[in-house]
Amino acid sequence: MVGVRSYDGSRRRYQYIDKFLNKPGPSTDPDFVPGAPTIANLEESKVLVIGAGGLGCEILKNLAMSGFKDIHVIDMDTIDVSNLNRQFLFRKDNVGMYKAEVAAASVTKRCKDVKITPFNGKIQDKDEDFYMQFKIIICGLDSIEARRWINATLVGMVDMDNPESLKPLVDGGTEGFKGQARVILPTLTSCIECQLDMHAPRAAVPLCTLATIPRQPEHCIEWAKIIAWEEHRKDTVLDTDDPEHITWLYDKALNRAKEFNIPGVTYQMTQGVVKNIIPAIASTNAIIAAACCNEAFKLATSCNPNLSNYMMYTGDDSIYTYTFEHEQKPDCPVCGNLAKTIVVNPKQTLQEFIDSLGERPEAQLKKPTLRTESTSLYFQSPPSLEEQTRPNLPKKLGELISDGEEIGVSDPAFTIDFKFKLVFQS
């Protein structure tokens, strides 16, 4: 066949992969060009992997073994001894080192023809020019907030006059024996914000339980975070990425647990509760990472249609998968152009409404600033504006806005403003 790559030493590793690339299949895109051009395109595709943890290790390994040659990885975390049971690219001697650097070195040691460039830090520290250089972005994150941020950033980058500005996002996530993989084409398909209500926030524990009768180790950790921190360190903003802050919370939670004879408080659990980290199981990570890399391979080569657009997996009792197309929402605050309707009680206070935004599955906003077209309802910062708008907090919504009025909401964790249409209960 014309253009088929011969199997010298450089391609022997990929001889089974190349069977998909050297000839068209029944579902191949009509524009698919088999052979050397597609293989070269795969090798030249610059891919960014976000996260080098449980999913990230599997994804990096799979990409390198699938023919990708230019891979970048970003992660802000360092290796903890608790990672070693499932994050197989790390060893005991690597504890304390940056995950991105060690993962990159571990993979390239075995796949010497692959280049992996590590970045240590937060994804929020990179600008649009950084993300514009990649052909595909793959998320292996354990944080919904981080997913929402990169989703909004990629949607905001799209320029209709520049097709290269559209960066496909392949997102994988796991929770115990459950997981999902999804393909997002920013502005064209359902985005992560459209699907936010599928990832409801963790149910809140009543403060009275935390303060008086904790029954679970998680209650002790929540007590340390909400009550103890406010009592002892209220002048310091809690940074969930600061090891000293996490250690302080862990020590307080551990003492609290001993007081009530509650076993099970660990440093790892403290991190998970405080940062709302989703627990991971190695086998689930492997399955979801394989699905994500399969989609990246199809996007880079056009050898088969990509997933449209959501695959869910569960392995609780048996192995079960289900694929469906999640529809784009016209009132999505990121990729839509309509305000999202929220039904509220006009007798509810502004403070109660602000608190509810953190609990509503479709919002999940922790520090919202609210305003209407004509007035400022409440500002979280700067302090002068917070003090000026604070008297609105005990006022009822019916006193501040009219039925059906739109409000703008911003949150420091996100790069976009949200629009909500507040409709009063009849």
CB atoms < 10 A from the CB of 6, how many? 7
CB atoms < 10 A from the CB of 93, how many? 9
Catalytic residue among 139, 208, 292, 335: 208
Burial of 157 (C-beta count, 10 Å sphere; 0-12/13-18/19+): middle
E strand segments, 66-145: 70-75, 115-120, 136-139
Cα–Cα distance for residue pair 334/216, rounded to 1 Å: 37
- Helix spans in 187-342 (H): 207-212, 217-223, 229-232, 243-259, 267-274, 282-301
Is the peptide bond prior to 361 cis by the omega test (within 30 degrees of 0)?
no
208 is catalytic: yes
Yes or no: say if 174 and 313 are a contact pair by the CB < 8 Å rule: no
The contacts of residue 416 (CB under 8 Å, 6+ apart) are: 152, 156, 333, 334
Q: Which two tokens stand for residue 412?
A: 């420091």
Cα–Cα distance for residue pair 341/355, rounded to 1 Å: 17
Yes or no: say if 281 and 175 are a contact pair by the CB < 8 Å rule: no
Q: Indicate the SS3 state at residue 109.
A: helix
Question: DSSP string spanning 371-393?
Answer: E-SS-EEE--SSHHHHHHHGGGT
Q: Any idea which residues carry the catalytic annotation? A: 208
